[in-house]
Amino acid sequence: MKNSILFIIPNLIGGGAQKVVANLSHYLINYYDVHILSLLPCEEKYDYSGKIHFIENKRQQSFFPIRIINRATQILKIKRLKRKLKVKCTISFLPEADRTNAYSSIGERIIFSIRNNLLADNKLNGVDKKRYSFAVKKCYRIVSITDGIRIQIINKLQLESDKVITIYNPYLPYTTKNTAMNNDRPFIVTMGRLEHQKGQWHLIRAFKYLLEKTNSNVDLVILGKGSLEGYLNSLIDDLNLKERVKLLGFSMDALDIISSSKCFVFPSLYEGLGNSLIEVMGLGVPIISSDCDFGPREILSPESNSEFRVIDKIDYESKCGILVPVCDGTHYTSFDPITKEEILLSNAINTLLENNALRQKIIHNESIRIKDFSLESIGQKWRSLIDEE
């Protein structure tokens, strides 16, 4: 008879954590009875293996005593579910689910998974830090998705080093539909939420510089939706780039579009891991990325020091992509002078477009590196953690 494991996540709406849970469930169902608990009733975006449960905390009640009662009721229901399922291990993703997991403990093995850059997102400060530190005492291990975040967690929460381990997100191979994007010119592409963290305006400015300084005949495609869409559209208009830069929003065919691009550019200011880098690597598309905290260097240059950051130059030594300095994050206008980091980003794009030998080297190394993120490889690490004595 299989042991039962339970994943706890805030919701099933979609996102990086939910996608990882879905992928892991497909592997772990072969070894455990898998159950997934969502703290918000909703329709699942991804396909999960195992049984899905919903136990909601009715937060719409604003009266404080009612909120306390609702929270206590939710915790008691989760305790009952854990006992009914006889769970061996409960794994939670994201801080809200982690606290819920700890408070509902019935003595099973509890594992937290921290997905984000805590300092950049201003997470776990003040009261939140105290609550989370209390919850951490109940957990067996914390899983980080990069070594950089692992070190940050240890320092931020003042934990013993063996309390926190690194397990990367798993990658599932994607079969492209061979539906090339209808575009008159070759194109480079980026993908991500249109938010400050992703830094797309720096790429737009670097692209304008590329067109001014070279004979490059490429377009720029930006995939994603977000609060900065208006700002990015205005910048594109002001730089007279409407014919060369395309904001396509969210697309179900995003990976198909990326697979037909000349290169993928990742101008993030900071990351938790950078899942899209792994997905793009699996497509065999060469990558240019900012050398930000955390993830890109670990993914693209695994043999280098993960704490090193390139400054004032382009790192062409990275085996699986080109790393460039992080831009400064200022929301510039079309009238502001180009920055040195944006110039370096532009130069890196031009080099990759012109140097076919470099492109082929990166693509070859990507095909080797992507095996480290296979569902089999990552799933075995989770099994070892769940079962270790």
Sequence-ordered list of residues with C-beta below 8 angstroms from that of 1, at least 6 positions apart, any chain: none
The pLDDT confidence band at residue 264, using thresholds 50, 70 and 90, is very high
- 160 with 196, same domain? no
Region of 273 (left: φ > 0; alpha: ψ -120 to 50; beta: rest) is alpha
Residue 180 lies in a domain: no
Region of 314 (left: φ > 0; alpha: ψ -120 to 50; beta: rest) is beta
pLDDT in tens, 354-368: 999 999 999 999 999
How far is residue 258's CA from residue 307's CA, in Å, rounded to a whole number?
29
Whole-structure pTM value: 0.86
Q: CB 294: neighbour CB atoms within 10 A?
A: 26
How far is residue 290's CA from residue 197's CA, in Å, rounded to a whole number?
12
Residue 177 lies in a domain: no
pLDDT at 269 over 80: yes
* Domain CATH number, residue 127: 3.40.50.2000
Tokens of residue 193, six digits: 């939420």
Mean pLDDT of all residues in 72-96? 95
List phi, psi (to 5°) of 170: -80, 155
Q: What's the pLDDT score for residue 131?
A: 78
User: In 271-318, where do the E strands start and end?
Assistant: 287-290
Q: CB 122: neighbour CB atoms within 10 A?
A: 10
Task: Choose among 132, 83, 125: nearest CA to 108.
Answer: 83
pLDDT in tens, 134-176: 889 999 999 999 998 899 889 988 899 999 999 999 998 888 8
Tokens of residue 69, six digits: 């009662």
- 132 with 203, same domain? no
Q: What's the pLDDT score for residue 191?
A: 95
110 has which bridge partners? 90
Q: What's the pLDDT score for residue 124?
A: 59
Q: What's the pLDDT score for residue 344?
A: 98
The pLDDT confidence band at residue 133, using thresholds 50, 70 and 90, is confident
Residue 181 lies in a domain: no
Sequence-ordered list of residues with C-beta below 8 angstroms from that of 380, at least 6 positions apart, any chain: none
How far is residue 140's CA from residue 193's CA, in Å, rounded to a whole number?
33
Mean pLDDT of all residues in 297-315? 94
Residue 179 lies in a domain: no
How far is residue 387's CA from residue 106's CA, in Å, rounded to a whole number?
18
pLDDT in tens, 49-74: 999 999 987 665 567 788 888 889 99
Q: What's the pLDDT score for residue 286?
A: 98
Q: What's the pLDDT score for residue 118?
A: 65
Q: Are 4 and 87 in contact (CB under 8 A)?
A: yes
- 133 with 150, same domain? yes
- 204 with 271, same domain? yes
**DSSP state for residue 185 in the 8-state scheme:** S
Determine the structural domain holding residue 315 and report its residue range: 187-372
Tokens of residue 51, six digits: 């049984």
Number of domains in the chain: 2
Sequence-ordered list of residues with C-beta below 8 angstroms from that of 322, at least 6 positions apart, any chain: 286, 287, 288, 289, 314, 315, 316, 348, 351, 352, 362
